[in-house]
Structure 1
Amino acid sequence: MKKTDRQMRVTPKIWIGLLIAVGYLCIVIPIQKLSGVSYEDFGASADNLLRSAIASMAAGAVALIIVASLLGWWRSALFDNTQQRLNYKWLLISPLIMLIGIFVNFSSTNFSQFDGKFIFILIVFGLLVGFCEELTIRGLLLTSLRSRLSEGWVCIFSSIIFGLIHGSNILLGQAIPVTLMQVCMAALSGVTFYLVRRFTGSLIWAMLLHGLWDVSVFMTAYNNPDGNGTAGLLSLTADLFSVIFLIIVFRKLKNAKAKQLS
């Protein structure tokens, strides 16, 4: 048995990863619901964001840290070894396009409308959303999916589940058509974040990209409720590139376990 396997206190099973994802939602959704702030008003003020998203994700982060520690899955959740990395530089096209979208969002933001408290809360929000959602889906769930599935299907199923968890925003007052669109976009973005992990060998970079994107979207929405069409188009372009890249490498991924890939 490998050293990394011995460090795991609990053998990964798919049902464990799914239970973690459901359990995370069961923590954050009730807290967000009890805050009295609808999803569409999360970023309307610093206090709204603090009472809803920050409070709920802070509780979720504590739970995830405890679960990951009890399972002994930290290393497998956060890092891929050298043999598991996908060394195709063209995979960086998708995250680079998303980074451009982030730059466009920030460049179109009127920062004078944000005081120091709001900026600080937005930074905390970015760190929490990147940490919580990435650790849940492309960390712990990914580890569990790898116990039975090849990497191609790990990417597909983890991305679909990532999209589906955003469907819970219906419970927070978001319109059904908007939520359905968000589910689809999140699933596509999940492929981008997966490829970031597989190229860099670390989930941390996916956490940072995820957090930056969400913060830029919230800041843009605060200035312009209709959103930034250019950044949205760039994000969609990045997602579509990720899907194309996944199709290209799927033949290699579909029959290979993570430990077999080079």
Structure 2
Amino acid sequence: MSDPQHSNGWRRFWHRGTWWKALLLVVGYWLVYQLIGLGTSALFHDVIDVADPLSSPASIFFGVALPILLSGLLLIVLAASLGWARGLFRRESLPGRRWMWLAVLLVLIPIVLRLIGTRWSAYAVATVLAILALGLCVGFAEELLTRGFVVNILRSGGYGERAVLVLSASYFAIMHAGNALQGQPLSTVLGTVVYTFGFGALMYLSLRVTGRLVWAILLHAATDPTTILATGGIDAHNAATAGTSGLIGVAGIFSFVYVAFALVAIFLVTNRTKVAPVAPATSD
């Protein structure tokens, strides 16, 4: 059987990585996610609370989680069409450095603080489970896109790891800039963009040092729901359900730590260019 890398134009296009192809994929994902969100909102409008999406488990799932889940599943279909479905989840060919474990630790500390500080009595068990499921959907889709596809596309184009770190974190941040189109205040959007750049850089370092994409997915999947449960909202603070202010405040400081650590990491990452990207499979 002939090698699909040389016989399939679709695969050849994505295997020859450039920065703009990675950005094109991120923008395309965001647009598809928005379209899916419009569709699910129309289909399940009876159970979705637009004013307070976290008001019920059904509203959480159909209003927030389902569009992300479907977008993530489309990424799996895309990966299969490129012959990358298994390769994206394989062990990293480039080993991490010991200092990169600090990234994992910095992500875990606020997760633990939020777990302790959350006012669990404010939530029904079903609501907690729905928010945890939402976190898993977000972690899966966003990490598969940015630390899976984007990292692989950039590496296949011969970009050094320093550029891979910066670009993958930047595209992750740009994706969240779209919140401005949903009516969020500009100050909130700018804060989110800066935070997501730092967090994205830590996820890249977590991918490197753990060796597998699944660990970045799980770390991301634990971050978002614990933040929502602790603060009582999505990118917002709800005094009615927010947890212990002291612990939540300390956890919030790590947002600034992420950005500072990310800036330092840019100079610490060895700028290697000879990293084996995920290659198209030779058969389906």
State the secondary structure of the residue aligned to 1:167: helix
Where does residue 280 of structure 2 map in the other structure? none
Measured at CA, do residues 108 and 221 of structure 1 come closer, stay the same or move farther in structure 2, by a change above 3 Å? same
Measured at CA, do residues 141 and 38 of structure 1 come closer, stay the same or move farther in structure 2, by a change above 3 Å? farther
Q: TM-score, normalized by length of structure 2?
A: 0.79
How big is the shift at 1:190?
0.6
Structure 2 unaligned residues grouped into runs of 5+:
243-247, 278-284
Q: Which amino acid aligns with 1:168?
A: G
Where does residue 23 of structure 2 map in the other structure? 18
Where does residue 141 of structure 1 map in the other structure? 150
The C-alpha deviation readout for 1:17-47, integer Å capped at 9, x for no partner, is: 3333222211222343563879994445433
Q: Is contact 2:194-2:259 (8 Å) kept?
A: no
The C-alpha deviation readout for 1:57-82, integer Å capped at 9, x for no partner, is: 1220221111011111134422344x
Q: Is contact 1:159-1:191 (8 Å) kept?
A: yes
Q: Which of 116, 121, 129 in structure 1 is aligned with 2:125?
A: 116
Which has more radius of gyration?
2
1:258, 1:114 → 2: CA distance?
46
Q: Percent identity?
A: 27
Where does residue 238 of structure 2 map in the other structure? 225
Where does residue 61 of structure 1 map in the other structure? 72
Q: Write the mapping of 1:170-181 to structure 2, written as runs, cut at 5 A.
A: 170-181=180-191
Higher helix residue share: 1
2:88, 2:126 → 1: CA distance?
32
Q: Write the mapping of 1:1-262 to structure 2, written as runs, cut at 5 A.
A: 10-11=11-12, 12=15, 13-14=17-18, 15-33=20-38, 35=41, 41-81=52-92, 83-86=93-96, 88-148=97-157, 149-222=159-232, 225=238, 228-249=248-269, 252-253=270-271, 255-259=272-276
Q: Which amino acid aligns with 2:23?
A: L
Count of aligned residue pairs for this structure pair:
251
Measured at CA, do residues 62 and 101 of structure 1 come closer, stay the same or move farther in structure 2, by a change above 3 Å? same
Structure 1 unaligned residues grouped into runs of 5+:
none
How big is the shift at 1:238?
3.6
How big is the shift at 1:94?
2.3
Q: Which amino acid aligns with 2:263?
A: V
Q: TM-score, normalized by length of structure 1?
A: 0.85
- How much is the aligned-residue C-alpha RMSD, in angstroms? 2.7
1:221, 1:74 → 2: CA distance?
36
Q: Is contact 1:38-1:173 (8 Å) kept?
A: no
State the secondary structure of the residue aligned to 1:146: helix
Which moved further from structure 2: 65-74 or 223-232?
A: 223-232
Q: Which amino acid aligns with 2:224?
A: D
Q: Which amino acid aligns with 2:274?
A: K
Q: Is contact 1:57-1:132 (8 Å) kept?
A: yes
2:259, 2:274 → 1: CA distance?
24
State the secondary structure of the residue aligned to 1:84: coil
Q: Which amino acid aligns with 1:235?
A: S
1:127, 1:233 → 2: CA distance?
24
